[in-house]
Amino acid sequence: MLLLLACITVVDDEDNPVVDDAAGAAEGDDPGECTDGADNDLDGDFDCDDTQCAASPDCTGSGNADTDSDSDSDTDTDTGDAPGDTGDDLGARLDEFASYELAYSFAWDFDDAYESYLEAYGLGDCVTTYAGSGVVYERVATRLTFIGPWAPSDTDCNENLVGVLWYDERRDSYASFTFSDDLSRLDDWVQHLDAGNHEPVEEPSANQQWYITEMAADFDLEAGTAHYTLDESITVDIIPVVITHTLDVSFAR
């Protein structure tokens, strides 16, 4: 597209050619100009063929020259760089993590004004903690998936409240975690029975899945830890209740 635009003559209201201010600029004035495939100073020479790019690291083979097969101008070997990638394949750092441990609590806080209803239904304030752990199964971009056990580890809730969440008593399940492109945030956690079922679905508990998405929880890449908490107001029949979700996860190298 840049080459096509360079062939178009721009004129003013009196049909006089308009001089492009960029014609007075030097090739390589801005980062990436010596490898962008364009004649930025409009002198007929492109990129490293322009004498003003001769000393650029991109043209001398030193510094951050592009020697890989992807479409950016850095020396990394990834093929899907995000805008602003400076040469480090951050996603590859996720390969350092070999296992994970997770504690997830689901706390019910019922409105005390409905005490008679709570007694009739056998409901009351309680907390169930679920534990997950396992070893790495696969990494795709900034998603890590592990395989291992997932089940309640402690509860003072009745069976109906524990059963609101999906967990598998029969065999191991999968835990998928999706991070932001710069690995500064943990965005999504999905617990799922089938390996390929890592995308959130409607009615997760009925479909052997449980998840929290769009957390934007701070992720400490060096320590491999993240923490998240959220209060959610819902109604059970006519009884208002606040559910507190708390997630703590750690990844080990």
Structure confidence by residue, pLDDT tens digits, 69-86: 444 444 444 444 444 444
Is residue 86 in some structural domain?
A: no
Last residue of a domain, one of 45, 78, 111: 78
**Does residue 5 form part of some domain?**
yes
Q: Is 85 a domain residue?
A: no
Whole-model pTM over 0.75? no
Do 139 and 163 lie in one domain? The reply is yes
In this structure, are 70 and 104 located in the same domain? no
Verify that 227 and 116 share a domain, yes or no. Answer: yes
- Mean pLDDT for the stretch of residues 11-34: 53
Length of the chain: 253
Q: Is residue 216 part of a domain?
A: yes
For residue 15, is it within any domain?
yes
Residue located via tokens 């308009």: 18
User: Which of 61-75, 89-103, 137-151 is the least confident region?
Assistant: 61-75
Say how far apart CA 125 and CA 81 lie, in whole Å: 48
| Residue-level pLDDT at 40 | 67
Residue that finishes a domain, picked among 18, 46, 78: 78
**123 shares its domain with 165:** yes
Query: What residues contact residue 78 under an 8 Å CB cut-off, 6+ apart?
Result: 70, 85, 89, 91, 92
Looking at the fold, whether 105 and 160 belong to one and the same domain comes out as yes
Q: Same structural domain for residues 68 and 113? A: no
In a domain, 193, yes or no: yes
For residue 71, the tally of other CB atoms under 10 A from its CB is: 9
Domain of 209?
92-252
- Same domain for 72 and 98, yes or no, is no
Establish if 83 belongs to a structural domain. no
Q: Report the DSSP beta bridge partners of residue 177.
A: 144, 189
37 and 67 in a single domain? The answer is: yes
Give the end-to-end CA distance of the chain in Å, rounded to a whole number.
45
Count of domains for the chain: 2
**Residue 184 placed within a domain:** yes
Using DSSP's 3-state secondary structure scheme, residue 70 falls into coil
Query: If pLDDT is split at 50, 70 and 90, which confidence band does 61 have?
Result: low
Final residue before a domain boundary, out of 26, 49, 78? 78
Q: Which of 48-62, 181-195, 233-247 has the highest mean predicted lDDT (pLDDT)? A: 181-195
- How many CB atoms are located within 10 Å of the residue 167 CB? 20
- Claim to verify: residue 244 and residue 157 sit in the same structural domain: yes
Same structural domain for residues 111 and 201? yes
The 3-state secondary structure of the chain reads: CHHHHHCCCCECCCCCECCCHHHHCCCCCCCCHHHCCCCCCCCCCCHHHCHHHCCCHHHHCCCCCCCCCCCCCCCCCCCCCCCCCCCCCHHHHHHHCCEEEEEEEEEEEECHHHHHHHHHHCCCCEEEEEEEEEEEEEEECCEEEEEECEEEEEECCCHHHHCCCCCCCCCCEEEEEEECCCCCEEEEEEEECCCCCCCCCCCCHHHCEEEECCCCEEEECCCCEEEEEEEEEEEECCEEEEEEEEEEEEEEC
| 124 plus 237 within the same structural domain | yes
User: Is the pLDDT confidence value at 4 over 80?
Assistant: no
Question: Residue 12 in 3-state DSSP?
Answer: coil
- Computed over every residue of the chain, the mean pLDDT equals 79
Q: What is the largest CA-CA distance in the chain?
A: 87
200 lies in the same domain as 225: yes
